């Protein structure tokens, strides 16, 4: 799914929900641990229960890589099972240069393949451009994250500009609104106006709603544009709504509730 198809999906489904697949083996229901592939068994049930209420899925690669080959295989099966009707974000947060960045791009856009991948821009243009060579694929650049430590670097100023603002400007100049998006955390709603002043037309991937306390209403109020321009990720609140045999049903209920909230926001825009 490319960016234009994502826009159409948001308009058709009337939501902009991304379900984060941070599948932690220590948190999934105990009965699934008897399965041949517990990670995929959990993901499959979650996807079946939520696919009507979201436009995107975001596997967090750390939870798969930690399990070695078994986790990697579960990730591939998960991506294949999601299919072509949802925007797939591979949350890898890679950041390297030259041939290494090219191999990362090949990993996530060919071997996997995902529709997009999160990348860290600290090493500059060289760390971003290899991902922009793939048609209909998207690089999602970390700009202003939701964690407390974001203040250590991202909010520091030089010549009257915060580092995250410089990241937005430079990164946006390297590509287009079709192949670059940005991560902006929901826990920093006051900054959305500044972000939109720099990148009014780019999509924003927004973590931090739900368990981290970000406000969906504030994100939409200050972050939405004419295409909505938002993918709001919710992980733990959906995935671990229950740790019993009803885990998938409960996950679907939470996802549906978010979809309804989003539809109402879009209706009143």
Q: What is the pLDDT of residues 120-176, one digit of tens each?
A: 999 999 999 999 999 999 999 999 998 889 999 999 999 899 999 999 999 999 999
Exposure string of 195-231, with b = 16+ CB inside 10 Å and e = fewer, is bbebbeebbbbbbbbbebebebeebbebbbeebbbbb
Q: 3-267 maps to which CATH number?
A: 3.20.20.70
Q: What is the pLDDT of residues 45-98, one digit of tens each?
A: 999 999 999 999 999 999 999 999 999 999 999 999 999 999 999 999 999 999
What is the set of active-site residues?
93
pLDDT at site 189 = 82
**106-114: Cβ within 8 A, 24+ apart:** 109/134, 109/137, 112/75, 112/76, 112/79, 113/79, 114/79, 114/88, 114/89, 114/90
Is the pLDDT at 269 greater than 70? The verdict is no
Task: Give the start-to-end residue ranges of the domains of the chain.
Answer: 3-267
Query: pLDDT, tens digit, for every residue of 34-54?
Result: 999 999 999 999 999 999 999
pLDDT tens profile 8-26: 999 999 999 999 999 999 9
């Amino acid at each position: 799914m490319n960016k234009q198809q994502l826009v159409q999906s948001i308009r058709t489904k009337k939501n902009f929900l991304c379900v984060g697949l941070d599948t932690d083996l220590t948190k999934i229901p105990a009965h699934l641990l008897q399965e041949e592939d517990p990670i995929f068994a959990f993901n499959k049930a979650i996807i079946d229960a939520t696919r009507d209420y979201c436009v995107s899925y975001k596997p967090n690669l750390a939870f798969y890589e930690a399990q070695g080959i078994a986790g990697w295989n579960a990730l591939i099966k998960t991506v294949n099972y999601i299919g072509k009707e949802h925007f797939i974000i591979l949350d890898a947060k890679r950041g390297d240069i030259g041939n290494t960045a090219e191999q990362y791009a090949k990993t996530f856009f060919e071997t996997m393949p995902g529709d997009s991948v999160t990348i860290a821009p600290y090493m500059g243009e060289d760390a971003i451009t290899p991902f922009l060579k793939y048609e209909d694929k998207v690089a999602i650049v970390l700009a202003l994250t939701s964690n407390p430590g974001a203040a250590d670097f991202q909010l520091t100023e030089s010549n009257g500009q915060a580092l995250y603002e410089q990241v937005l400007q430079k990164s946006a100049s390297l590509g287009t609104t079709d192949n670059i998006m940005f991560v902006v955390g929901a826990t920093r709603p006051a900054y959305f106006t500044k972000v939109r002043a720099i990148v009014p037309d780019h999509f924003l991937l927004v973590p931090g709603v739900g368990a981290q306390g970000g406000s969906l209403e504030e994100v939409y109020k200050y972050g939405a544009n004419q295409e909505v321009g938002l993918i709001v990720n919710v992980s733990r609140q959906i995935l671990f709504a229950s740790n019993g045999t009803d885990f998938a049903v409960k996950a679907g209920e939470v996802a549906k509730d978010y979809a309804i909230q989003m539809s109402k926001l879009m209706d009143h825009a």
